[in-house]
Amino acid sequence: MKKIVIAPDSFKGTMTSIEICSYIEDAVKKYLPDAQVVKIPIADGGEGTVDAYLSGIGGMRRRKTVTGPMGAPVEAEYGILPDGETAVIEMAAASGLPLVEKEKSPMNATTFGTGELIANAVENGCTKIILGIGGSATNDGGIGALTALGVRFLDETGREVTPDGKGLARIASIDAAGLPERIRRVKLTIACDVKNPLAGKNGAAHVFGPQKGATPEMVEALDAGLLHYNSILTKLTGIDRKDESGMGAAGGLGLSLKTFLDARMEPGIDLILDTAAFDEKLEGADLVITGEGKIDGQSKQGKVPVGVAWRARKKKVPVIALVGDVGAGYEDLYEEGITAIFSTNKAAVPYEQARKTSVEDLKFLTESLLRAYCAVR
């Protein structure tokens, strides 16, 4: 009997990882009816992280109305794992880019809602939090989240600054006395695959600001604001973190959470693979099918297909990646353990057109792949 492990990421904006698992399973069962299929929906800290955890090990969902990135209320969801003590939160649910598609403005965007989700999880008895910080719309250095948790950021007159990107440059002092002890004691793990430093040409504002709506002038202002905020924190703690790996993720949110909550940053793909007992489920597998919306040379930094391939390579299991788009540098991924890469796009068309037929295209590709597999076998 053949054993096939299906472990894809979502195709952002078109299909969730759970849906993709089902589509691929249907094709496998059609052509290999006796095969053992193991479905492991995956996420790397961005969209789909909560679904991946709950699908992998179970748990319950919680909903909370929180402050969205531009201040309007949004309905956000997070998960509590079966131990009743661990919450899985997606920053994108409260402070994500899809929530501001029509009004992108990182100068005014806030992570306040993310802080509200953390507070709500603690109120519900959670002492451990896994926070996925992919897909943010913000560049506030995390002061929004900390404000929601009780920290006060004050200007030279003693007034609280706005907890957003433009407020960073006005911070003169910080009052953390209002941060509850139960929040301080939380074991917070940040699922993050971004290694960019806080500021500079490779930092949060320069690299990620434009996709969040920042103009060149805004990029410079946000970059200066993050450096100013870091200088305040350095004076407060004696630790300068501006050059630490990952501090530029999610508009600098990690800087605040690491400073005030002693958060630990770990690769998101490793966290979910370990939690889902991926290595155990890989035992005896003949093939792994993974995938994501776009694959390119940057996928080596810990994106789902490569993270899956690293594990599979150790057990000498071939890995096929089904993806929406193939970008520059994909050849390097063969050395990371991916055996072959196939694109679902049957024609070179713009994303907005391709997304309309993404489900049909994935099914077509999977069936074509399995027909070839059965013929060769």
The pLDDT of residue 11: 86
The pLDDT of residue 179: 97
The pLDDT of residue 21: 93
Of 129, 65, 60, 68, the residue nearest 97 (C-alpha): 68
- pLDDT over threshold 80, residue 1: no
The pLDDT of residue 298: 78
pTM over 0.85: no
**Does residue 129 contact residue 123 with C-beta atoms inside 8 Å?**
no
Better pLDDT: 346 or 290: 290
**Does residue 109 contact residue 69 with C-beta atoms inside 8 Å?**
yes
Q: What gap in Å lies between CA 349 and CA 346, rounded to an integer?
A: 9
Of 48, 61, 58, the residue nearest 18 (C-alpha): 48
Residue labelled with tokens 């508009």: 251
The pLDDT of residue 267: 82
DSSP secondary structure string for all residues of 76-143: EEEEE-TTSSEEEEEHHHHHBGGGGTTS--TTT---HHHHHHHHHHHHTT--EEEEE--SB---STTH
Structure tokens at 260: 């005030």
Chain segment 278-336, per-residue pLDDT in tens: 999 999 999 999 999 999 887 887 789 999 999 999 999 999 999 998 888 889 999 99
Better pLDDT: 52 or 189: 189
By CB atoms closer than 10 A (0-12, 13-18, 19+), residue 353 is: exposed
The pLDDT of residue 193: 77
Q: What gap in Å lies between CA 304 and CA 39, rounded to an integer?
A: 14
Q: How much of the chain, in percent, has pLDDT values that exceed 70?
A: 99
CATH 3.40.50.10350 in the chain, residue ranges: 3-42+279-376
Q: Which helix (H) or strand (E) holds 74?
A: strand 73-80
Q: What gap in Å lies between CA 331 and CA 1, rounded to an integer?
A: 32
pLDDT tier for residue 356 given thresholds of 50, 70 and 90: confident
CATH superfamily of 49-268: Glycerate kinase, domain 2 (3.90.1510.10)
Of 85, 115, 86, 110, the residue nearest 99 (C-alpha): 110
CATH architecture of 3-42+279-376: 3-Layer(aba) Sandwich (3.40)
Q: Helix, strand, or coil here: 193?
A: coil
Better pLDDT: 222 or 296: 222
Q: What gap in Å lies between CA 305 and CA 328, rounded to an integer?
A: 16
Better pLDDT: 58 or 289: 289
The pLDDT of residue 102: 77
Q: What gap in Å lies between CA 338 and CA 117, rounded to an integer?
A: 37
Structure tokens at 12: 């952002």
Structure tokens at 51: 């679904």
- pLDDT over threshold 90, residue 187: yes
Give the chain's mean pLDDT: 92
The pLDDT of residue 275: 81
The pLDDT of residue 52: 81
The pLDDT of residue 305: 93
Mean pLDDT of 179-195: 92
pLDDT tier for residue 72 given thresholds of 50, 70 and 90: very high
Mean pLDDT of 170-197: 94
Chain segment 130-163, per-residue pLDDT in tens: 999 988 999 999 999 999 999 999 999 999 999 9
User: How does strand 319-326 pair with strand 340-343?
Assistant: parallel
CATH 3.90.1510.10 in the chain, residue ranges: 49-268
